[in-house]
Amino acid sequence: MSICRFSPSSDVFVTIEDNGVLECCACRLHERGTYSTPLRDEMVHHLKEHLGAGHKVPPEAFVELAQPSKW
Ligand SMILES: [Zn+2]
């Protein structure tokens, strides 16, 4: 499922795989294109790096990452 998609209010596309791995697809911060981590805390940190770089990250993404029980 996707946590957030590219949109006018989002410069990131974050998904969670069935195995629980989080991916930041077509990531602007990584040359390899996709940043992946199994840890929610690390993805939160990663998204804050996007914010620090001036990229848009929707607040809902942080809300989703703070609610693992939904998965
Ligand atoms: Zn990223």
Which of 18, 27, 21 is CA-nearest to residue 40? 21
Which of the four pLDDT bands, split at 50, 70 and 90, describes residue 52?
very high
Question: How many domains does the chain fold into?
Answer: 1
> What's the 30 CA to ligand 1 centre distance in angstroms?
7
pLDDT score of 12? 97
- Can you tell me the distance from the alpha carbon of 70 to that of 52, in angstroms, rounded to the nearest whole number? 28
pTM: 0.90
Total residue count of the chain as it appears in this document? 71
- Can you tell me the distance from the alpha carbon of 56 to that of 67, in angstroms, rounded to the nearest whole number? 21
> What's the 6 CA to ligand 1 centre distance in angstroms?
12
What is the residue type of 68?
Answer: P
> What's the 4 CA to ligand 1 centre distance in angstroms?
12
CB atoms near residue 32 (< 10 Å): 7
pLDDT score of 68? 61
Q: Is the pLDDT of residue 71 over 80?
A: no
- Can you tell me the distance from the alpha carbon of 21 to that of 52, in angstroms, rounded to the nearest whole number? 23
Range of the domain at 54: 2-70
At 28-51, the pLDDT tens digits run 998 779 999 999 999 999 999 999
> What's the 25 CA to ligand 1 centre distance in angstroms?
7
